[in-house]
Amino acid sequence: MKITDVETILLRLPQVREIGDGCQTICVIRVSTDEGIVGIGEAHTNPLAARSIIDSPLYSVSAQGLRHVLLGEDPRDINRLWDKMYRASQTYGRRGLLMHALSGIDLALWDILGKSVGLPVHQLLGGARKRAHHAYASDLSQPTLEATIERALAHKANGYRAMKFGWGALGQDRKSDVRVAEQLRSALGPDFDIMIDMGFAVPLDHALYLGRAYAEHDLYFLEEPLSPDDLGGFAKLVAASPTPIATGEKASHELDYIDLMDRGQLRIIQPDIARMGGISGMLRVIAHAEARNVRVIPHCWSTDILVAATLHCISTMRDCPYLEFNVTDNPLRTDLLVEPIRPDRGVIQVPEQPGLGIELREDTLARFRWQP
Ligand SMILES: [Mg+2]
């Protein structure tokens, strides 16, 4: 089997707003083969930038575009092709954008491998330890606290037992950050896991204040209160905060996660499979984390392509308490697949069809296609 094309399909909502939502313009990757099998992936990043990295023609031996590197190769040689892409882009790559684009291709290659042998990806990874996962409802904090509480109660009524609110006005005033947690707890009751995501870094003393105050409201974790690069800050915060601290959605290399765990002392990491090397990268990070008894609760705020790939991976883990599930109203999330992935009373089943087990809706591709 040979790769005949690597295509980026950019989809964009008619209105893109300046909010903490990375699912307003998306980059779907389609890898075609001479045997008619087509693999689907997603690069969770700035889509136009990912397209450049994939489409660039040969520039030099260590600064190549990924499409050029892959044409004519056997897509089932995933390990070898991962190394080849990483090596061929070393001058400009290794972290960030290159890893995002490589991740989307890696997902598509696993999809092809699964389809070629008629098995779901989780089975190729050694088999699922869990076939159903509790999802936590992941939402944006609203302009008013009343509106945030209203959405929280709606998620609870839909059967979720855990939820997260993030971004928006959080991080500007520590007293109002505490009020959000206090009001959520009092509205949702005690048997509920609540998470707060700051989105952008706050000063270390602000983060410490929240880590202490949130413990009074039994928060499950406080996410991304410091810069992804502030390993020393994280080490201090984790040591002093009674509320667990989580981070990792902006890292992109397994070595970054080793740093977060060893130097930053993080006990919960949140790799995004469409940013940090795909399924191949995620397997390595899971192994590093499990060896350290660190929890991996992946970042998963984008389309159902990301949801499917994340489900296959976390189903093989020894202990993954939650799948993050984007509950915002967005057709790029809800209408992208022929059979959308939906939780039932907050529980999601791992796909069982060959490959990632997903099929794209052509009408949605046509409706939101973006040709910049
Ligand atoms: Mg986040």
User: What 8-state DSSP symbol labels residue 221?
Assistant: E
Q: Tell me if 27 sits within 8 A of 332, measured CB to CB.
A: no
How many angstroms separate the alpha carbon of residue 248 from the centre of ligand 1? 8
Kind of pairing between the strands at 132-140 and 347-349: antiparallel
Domain harbouring 296, CATH code:
3.20.20.120
How many angstroms separate the alpha carbon of residue 72 from the centre of ligand 1? 38
Tokens representing 354 are: 């060959």
β-partners of residue 349 are 132
On the question of pLDDT at 226 being above 90, the answer is yes
Q: To the nearest whole percent, how much of the chain has pLDDT over 90? A: 95
Helices (DSSP H) in the chain: which residue ranges? 47-55, 66-70, 78-88, 97-117, 121-124, 145-157, 174-188, 204-215, 231-240, 254-262, 278-291, 304-314, 331-334, 362-368
162 and 266 share one domain: yes
How many angstroms separate the alpha carbon of residue 199 from the centre of ligand 1? 5
| Distance of alpha carbon 137 from alpha carbon 164, whole angstroms | 6
Comparing C-alpha atoms, which of 181, 183, 206 is closest to residue 194?
Answer: 181
Q: Tell me if 184 sits within 8 A of 220, measured CB to CB.
A: no
Query: Residue 304: pLDDT band by 50, 70, 90 thresholds?
Result: very high
299 and 191 share one domain: yes
What's the number of domains the chain is made of? Answer: 2
How many angstroms separate the alpha carbon of residue 77 from the centre of ligand 1? 33
CA torsion, ordered 200, 205, 207, 210, to nearest 10 deg: -140
In tens, the pLDDT along 2-33 reads: 999 999 999 999 999 988 888 999 999 999 99
Q: Which domain holds residue 155?
A: 124-356
In tens, the pLDDT along 114-171 reads: 999 999 999 999 999 999 999 999 999 999 999 999 999 999 999 999 999 998 888 8
| Distance of alpha carbon 52 from alpha carbon 224, whole angstroms | 29
How many angstroms separate the alpha carbon of residue 166 from the centre of ligand 1? 7
pLDDT of residue 168: 83
How many angstroms separate the alpha carbon of residue 224 from the centre of ligand 1? 7
pLDDT of residue 183: 96
How many angstroms separate the alpha carbon of residue 150 from the centre of ligand 1? 21
Domain harbouring 90, CATH code:
3.30.390.10
7 and 135 share one domain: no
72 and 133 share one domain: no
How many angstroms separate the alpha carbon of residue 246 from the centre of ligand 1? 9
How many angstroms separate the alpha carbon of residue 64 from the centre of ligand 1? 31
How many angstroms separate the alpha carbon of residue 168 from the centre of ligand 1? 12
Query: Residue 296: pLDDT band by 50, 70, 90 thresholds?
Result: very high
130 and 264 share one domain: yes
How many angstroms separate the alpha carbon of residue 343 from the centre of ligand 1? 20
Query: At 72, is the secondary structure helix, strand, or coil?
Result: coil
Which residues are within 5 Å of ligand 1 (an ion), measured at CB?
A: 197
In tens, the pLDDT along 190-213 reads: 999 999 999 889 999 999 999 999
pLDDT of residue 167: 85
In tens, the pLDDT along 60-87 reads: 999 999 999 999 999 999 999 999 999 9
pLDDT of residue 139: 94
Report the mean per-residue pLDDT for the chain: 96
130 and 175 share one domain: yes
The burial class, CB within 10 Å (0-12 / 13-18 / 19+), for 298 is buried
| Element holding 10 (H helix, E strand) | strand 3-12
105 and 174 share one domain: no
71 and 165 share one domain: no
Tokens representing 218 are: 């039994």
Comparing C-alpha atoms, which of 188, 170, 172 is closest to residue 180?
Answer: 170
134 and 111 share one domain: no
How many angstroms separate the alpha carbon of residue 225 from the centre of ligand 1? 10
153 and 254 share one domain: yes
